[in-house]
Amino acid sequence: MRCIGPHPINVLMNIEQQFADLHDLWSPRVIGRVNDQYVKIAKLKGEFTWHKHDDEDEMFLVVKGRLRIQFEDGDVELGSGDFHIVPKGVRHNPVADEECWIMLIETVTTKHTGDVVSPLTRTIEQQLGQ
């Protein structure tokens, strides 16, 4: 495995292998950093929590399963290979009726549950595996 660059997490990685090592639901794992953005993966099942990120967009790419992102003006339904970028400041709530695997792109400052704290909230240290 080749490890280069300023970010020690940036080795050559395989998405499927990363998911195989991730067992907890709603617990994003940072798997890379590109500029000021973290690349994360997460496994979801059930309902998350309504929240927003005042200053950061958030990209959701569904790798496996289906994800519904609830917005105040309607839902977006994503299947495998679909992606959607939630703009900053927009309240949303991810819901997965069955287990769903996603890749996320988020600014490094993004808080997991944004403007709220819930029992599901994970710190960035937890997401970095520290």
Choices 22-30, 44-52, 78-86, 114-122; region in contact with a second copy by CB under 8 A: 78-86
Each residue 90-109 as x (binds a second copy by CB under 8 A) or -, in order, gives: x--------------xxx--
**Exposed/middle/buried for 72, CB within 10 Å: 0-12, 13-18, 19+?**
exposed
The nearest distance, CB 125 to a second copy, in angstroms, is 21
The yes or no reply on residue 6 touching a second copy (CB under 8 A) is yes
Applying CB under 8 A, the site for a second copy has a residue count of 41
The answer to whether 113 and 121 are in contact (CB under 8 A) is: yes
The yes or no reply on residue 72 touching a second copy (CB under 8 A) is no
Burial 53-65 (b: 16+ CB within 10 A, else e): beebbbbbbbbbb
Give Cβ neighbours of residue 63 (< 8 Å, ≥ 6 apart).
15, 19, 41, 80, 101, 102, 103
**Cβ proximity to a second copy, 36 vs 98, nearer residue:** 36
The yes or no reply on residue 3 touching a second copy (CB under 8 A) is no
Cα angle: 59, vertex 20, 102; to 5 degrees: 15
The yes or no reply on residue 86 touching a second copy (CB under 8 A) is yes
Residues within the interface to a second copy (CB under 8 A): 2, 4-7, 10-16, 32-37, 39, 56-59, 61, 71, 74, 76, 78-79, 81-88, 90, 105-107
